[in-house]
Homo-oligomer: A and B are copies of this chain.
Amino acid sequence: MRILVVNVNTTESITQAIARSAQSVAAPGTEIVGLTPYFGADSIEGNFESYLAAIAVMDRVMSYDQPFDAVIQAGYGEHGREGLQELLNVPVVDITDAAASTAMFLGHAYSVVTTLDRTVPLIEDRLKLSGLWDRCASVRASGLAVLELEHEPQRALEAIVHQAELAVTQDKAEVICLGCGGMAGLDEQIRQRTGVPVIDGVTAAVTIAESLVRLGLSTSKVRTYATPRPKNIIGWPQKFMR
């Protein structure tokens, strides 16, 4: 089974970290292919960048010329998953949904700890649209930008742990979701520090994607995610013009 794990930003080192994290939980026989979009921002922290990433991720997946069994969109709270679901016949799993869905099996309420405060409303809105909001205790910002997670890992860890602790004590979260693809790999340390289950959306998404493939399930094509109708599409990206 081959699963494409697509980063939403253009920072190659983050793609590699995500792919490593994904591979670490993949079942024997599952091949993880990490993909970096051909265009877009080096980190996604807002709507403009997120919309651009939506197209960039679709472009990168449609440009991939080998067979694959599932796609993971590895950005937390980003736009675009619905477009991929229309374009593809294989399952598409967004790490936002994967983490929240997994968290709900483990506790009565969960919180998300993300990067900058400005991204909180995007995450909240994506969770609402996915129908996974009811048991969300809070979405909290660590105050660190995506790239700071990379460059200052210890400071990032402390900031995330601090917000996770507030989520547990004040917001009554019983599970923490790491709210950024770039946090992949931090889950174990934060779990030790907070005493509650911590979910990395990337690894959760790998097991969900594998499960859907094993169960022979894929995106319903009857209405919302039906294949796009034939259209005249002008300009770029060329990959979409068929």
Contact = CB atoms under 8 A, between A and B. Distances in A.
A144 to B, nearest CB: 13
B45 A229 contact: yes
A135 interface: yes
Interface residues of A, number: 90
Greatest chain B CB density within 10 A among A45, A48, A145, A195 is at: A48
A218 B103 CA distance: 10
A121 B83 CA distance: 13
Interface stretch (A35-43, A149-157, A178-186): A35-43
A222 B58 contact: no
Interface of A: 10, 25, 27, 38-43, 45-52, 54-56, 58, 79-80, 82-83, 85-87, 91, 93, 97, 101-102, 104-109, 117-118, 120-122, 125, 128-135, 145, 168, 172, 174-175, 195-197, 199, 203-204, 207-208, 210-212, 214-215, 217-220, 222-226, 228-229, 231-237, 240
28 contacts: A38-B234, A39-B233, A40-B234, A41-B232, A41-B233, A45-B228, A46-B229, A47-B86, A48-B228, A49-B233, A52-B233, A54-B54, A55-B55, A101-B105, A106-B220, A107-B220, A108-B224, A118-B224, A121-B223, A122-B224, A132-B134, A174-B222, A174-B224, A174-B225, A197-B217, A199-B215, A207-B211, A207-B214
